[in-house]
Amino acid sequence: MLHVKNLHASVAGNEILRGVDLDVGRGEIHAIMGPNGSGKSTLAQVLAGREAYEVTAGEVTYNGKELLPMAPEERSREGIFLAFQYPVEIPGVSNTYFLKAALNSIRKHRGEEEYDAADFLALLKERMKLVDLDPALLNRPVNEGFSGGEKKRNEIFQMAVLQPTLAILDETDSGLDIDALRIVADGVNRLRDPERSVIVVTHYQRLLNYIVPDVVHVLVEGRIVRSGGRELALELEEKGYDWLREGAVVGK
Amino acid sequence: MNRVSGIPRTPAEQVEWYVGHFKSFEKRLNGEASSDVHTLRRRALDRFSGLGFPGTRDEEWRYTNVSPFVSIPYEPVSEPGGRRVDGGGSPATKFLEGIAVRGLPGYRLVFLDGHFAPDLSRLPENGAHVRTLSGVISASEGVNGDLMGYLGRGAEKDRENPFTALNTAFLREGACIHLPENFHSDEPVYLLFHSTHRPEPHCSHPRNLIVAGPGSSVPIIEEYSGPGNQPYFTNSVTEIFAGRGSRVELDRFQHEGENAFHVSSLYITQEADSAVTVNSVSYGSAMARHNITAVLAGEEAECTLNGLTLTTGTQHIDNHTVIDHATPNCASHELYKAILEGSSRGVFNGKIFVRRDAQKTDAKQTNKALLLSDDATIDTKPQLEIFADDVRCTHGATVGQLDEEQIFYLRSRGLGPEDARDLLTNAFASDVLNRIHLEPLREHLQAILHVLLCKGRILAENE
C-alpha cells in the first residue's frame, strides 16, 4: 500500500534522506530503527507532508496515488496518521473540539455524514478505553499541561478516533517509562487490523517487545542499509549500530 | 452665533468649535446653569481650552494621531435621530432588536446620540439604584446630593486628558448606578450607547457614574455602536467607585461604525477588599482610544483588566491602562490581546505605579498580539514605576504570527490550512472572551468574533 522509491529530502540545504526505498504491505507492521540523526524522524515527517523538508528526488505512492503532491491535510484525509514525537500544545482549543473538527473533515472528504455532538461523545468514550486516557483530558486544551506520557497517549487516542489506514509512530516510546510504554503499545495492538499498516520509528528495541513488527529496517545516514525480520532488532540491541554504519560507508 | 463656521483645522479653531457647542448647550440648561455641576463643567471647559487636542509629540499620544479626526466638524445633537425600522411590529421593539444584545435579563438603559430613550429602556419601578444621570442631576438634593459628591471625583484627578475635560464640560446624560450596601444582583445593568444615521457628522459625550456601596455586587455592560457609513464622534467617560468589599464586573464592547472616532475613559477607585473586573472588547470604529485608570486606594483590593481588540483595514485601536497601587496588599491582573489584519495598527500602553507604602503588591501584566498580515503593526509599551521594595510585579509582551508547528499539527489531522488558522485565531481570542461571566453576552461576542475572524469582516453588522 506504501511504496517509497529512491526518496531524497533535505532541510536548509542539508541532505538528510539519500535514497530511501521502502515497501509496506496492507496490514503489516514495519519498524524503522537507526541511530540518532540517521533520518528516521525526517522520513516520518516527509511522509506526513511537512513543508520544512524539501523532497529533491524520488517518488512515493500510497494506495496507488502519488503521495508527494498532496498537502498534509489531504494525506490525513486519505488515511495517513503521524503520531508526533513531540505533540504540539494548542492552547484555547479543547481536545474534543479539535478531534471533532479533524474527524468531520476526514469524513466529509470520504463523503460520509458528519458526526453530531452526542454520537461523537459516545465514540470518544468508547475509544478512550483503548488507551486508558483520563476523561478529564477531553475538555482540556490539546496537550496543554499534559505530562509526557499523557501527550503520547493522546496521540494514540487520536489515532483510535481517526482510524487511519497507515499510522506512522515517530519515536512514540521516547520519554516513556515502562508502564506508559505498555499502555501505549497495548493501544496500538488493539488497533491492529488487516486493513491498517503501521510504521514504528524507534531508536530502541524495547518498544518492539510490545509492538511486534513483521519487518525491521535499519536506517543509517539517510538510507535503509538492512532489512530483516524481528530478530534483526534483537541483533541491533546486542551489537549497536556501528557495524552497519561501517557497512554503509563501505557500500558507498 | 458663537459657532465657528467651516472646518476646524487649526488647534485654536478646534477648541473654539467646542466652546461654541458649550455656549449653545448652556442656553438650554435653564436653571441648572447656576448649580455645582455647572461649575464643574465650566472648569472642565477651561481646562480643555488650555490643553487643546493632543498631537503625536505628546508622549501619551505618540502612537495615536487623532488630528484627522478632531478636525472633522462634529455637530452636537439636540434631539436623538430617527430610527430605521424594517418590517412591521412595534417600531420600538423592532428597532431595539436590531441594535441590542438579545436574551439579557436585568435593566437596560438605551441612549441614542447621547439622549436617553425611555421607550427602549427597562428601569426598576421604584427607580432606586439605576437611573439616568440627567435625572439625578435635576433632582440633586438629599440622598442625590451625596451621590453628586462622587461625580468627577475620579475623572477630575486626570488633569492631562483633554477628552475627559471635554466630556466633563458636556456632562449631562448617561447612566447613574448606585448600589446600596450589600445589594446583590446577578442580573446585569445593560447600558447601550447607539449613534444613529444623521445627515451631518455628530458627536456625543456620554457620562456614567457607578457607585457600588459596601458589600454590593452587580455586573454591568457598556456597549457602543453606530452606523457604518458616516463620521461621528463618541467621547465617553465612566467613573466607578467600588466601596469596601464590593464586586463589580464591567463588560464593555465597542463596535462603532467604520468611520467613527471613539474615545472612552474609565476611572476606577477601589476601597479595601473590593474586586473590579473590566473586560473590554473593541473591534469597531476607524480610530479608538480606550483609557482605563484604576486607583487601588484600600488594602486587599483586586483589579482585573482584560482586553481584546480586533482590527483590519486601516483601523487603529489604542488601549492605555494605568493601575495605581496606592496601598499595600493589593493585586492587579492585566491581560490584553490584539489580533491585527490588513494595515491596521494597535497600541497597548500599560502603566503600573507601586507607591512607596504599597508593600506586598502583586501586579501582573500580559500583552499579546497576533499579526495576521505583514502590514499590521502594534506598539506595546509596559511602564512599571515601583517605589516599594517588597512587591511582585511581572510583565510580558509577545508579538507574533500564527505558529507553524501548530498549523502543521492541525493539518496533519485533516484540517485545511484556512480552518487551522481560523481555529488558532479563535483560540487566541477565546482566552479573553471566556473571562466574561455573563453567558448571553459571552455567546453573543463569540458568535460575532467567529464571523469576523472566519468569514471576512462585517463592520457595523447592525446596518
What does the pLDDT look like over B129-184, one tens digit per residue? Answer: 899 999 998 876 555 667 889 999 999 999 999 999 999 999 999 999 999 999 99
Quote ipTM for the complex. Answer: 0.95
- Residues of chain B found within 8 Å of residue A91, distances taken between Cβ atoms: 427, 431
pLDDT score recorded for residue A246 = 59
Q: Where are the domains of chain A?
A: 2-251
**Residue from the list B411, B427, B428 with its beta carbon closest to the beta carbon of A73:** B411
Tell me which residues of chain B have a pLDDT lower than 50. 1-4, 456-463
Retrieve residue A46's grid coordinates.
Answer: 516527509
- Residues of chain A found within 8 Å of residue B403, distances taken between Cβ atoms: 88
**Could you tell me the CA-to-CA distances from B168 to A96, B217, B272 in Å, in that order?**
51, 27, 28
Q: CA B240, CA B93: separation in Å to the nearest integer? A: 31
- Residues of chain A found within 8 Å of residue B415, distances taken between Cβ atoms: 73, 101-102, 105
Q: Inform me whether the C-beta atom of residue B418 falls under 8 Å from chain A C-beta atoms.
A: no
- Residues of chain A found within 8 Å of residue B408, distances taken between Cβ atoms: 50-51, 72, 88
pLDDT score recorded for residue B177 = 96
**Residue from the list A84, A105, A158 with its beta carbon closest to the beta carbon of B415:** A105
Long-range contacts of A143-152 (CB under 8 A, 24+ apart): A143/A87, A143/A88, A143/A89, A143/A90, A144/A89, A144/A90, A144/A91, A145/A89, A146/A87, A146/A89, A148/A175, A148/A176, A149/A175, A149/A176, A149/A177, A149/A180, A149/A183, A151/A87, A152/A83, A152/A87, A152/A176, A152/A180, A152/A184
pLDDT (mean) for A155-182: 93
Pick the CATH number of A2-251 from 3.40.50.300, 3.30.70.260, 3.40.30.10, 3.30.70.240: 3.40.50.300
Question: Cβ separation of A102 and B413 shorter than 8 Å?
Answer: yes
> pLDDT class for A250, splitting at 50, 70, 90?
very low
Asked if A165 and A63 count as a contact pair (C-beta separation under 8 A), the reply is yes
A252 has pLDDT over 50: no
Q: Where are the domains of chain B?
A: 11-298, 404-463
pLDDT score recorded for residue B456 = 45
Q: Give pLDDT tens digits for B292-319.
A: 999 999 999 999 999 999 999 999 999 9
- Residues of chain A found within 8 Å of residue B426, distances taken between Cβ atoms: 92
Retrieve residue B278's grid coordinates.
Answer: 473590566
Picking from B366, B408, B413, B430 by the largest number of A CB atoms within 10 A of its own CB, the best residue to mutate is B413
pLDDT score recorded for residue B458 = 32
What b/e sequence results for B35-56 when a residue is b if at least 16 CB atoms lie within 10 Å of its CB, and e otherwise?
eebbebbeebbebbbebebbee
Q: Inform me whether the C-beta atom of residue B29 falls under 8 Å from chain A C-beta atoms.
A: no
Asked if B282 and B317 count as a contact pair (C-beta separation under 8 A), the reply is yes
Residue B105's DSSP bridge partners are none
Question: Cβ separation of A92 and B428 shorter than 8 Å?
Answer: yes
pLDDT score recorded for residue A140 = 92
Q: Give pLDDT tens digits for A69-115.
A: 999 999 999 999 999 999 999 998 999 999 999 999 999 999 999 88
pLDDT score recorded for residue B413 = 97
How far does the CA of residue B378 sit from the closest CA of chain A (Å)? 22
pLDDT score recorded for residue A243 = 83
- Residues of chain A found within 8 Å of residue B413, distances taken between Cβ atoms: 76, 98-99, 102, 158, 162
A251 has pLDDT over 90: no
Question: Cβ separation of B431 and A92 shorter than 8 Å?
Answer: yes
CA atoms within 13 A on the CB side of B115: 12
pLDDT score recorded for residue B457 = 36
Question: What's the length of chain B?
Answer: 463
CB pairs under 8 A between A and B: 70
pLDDT score recorded for residue B150 = 95
pLDDT score recorded for residue B461 = 32
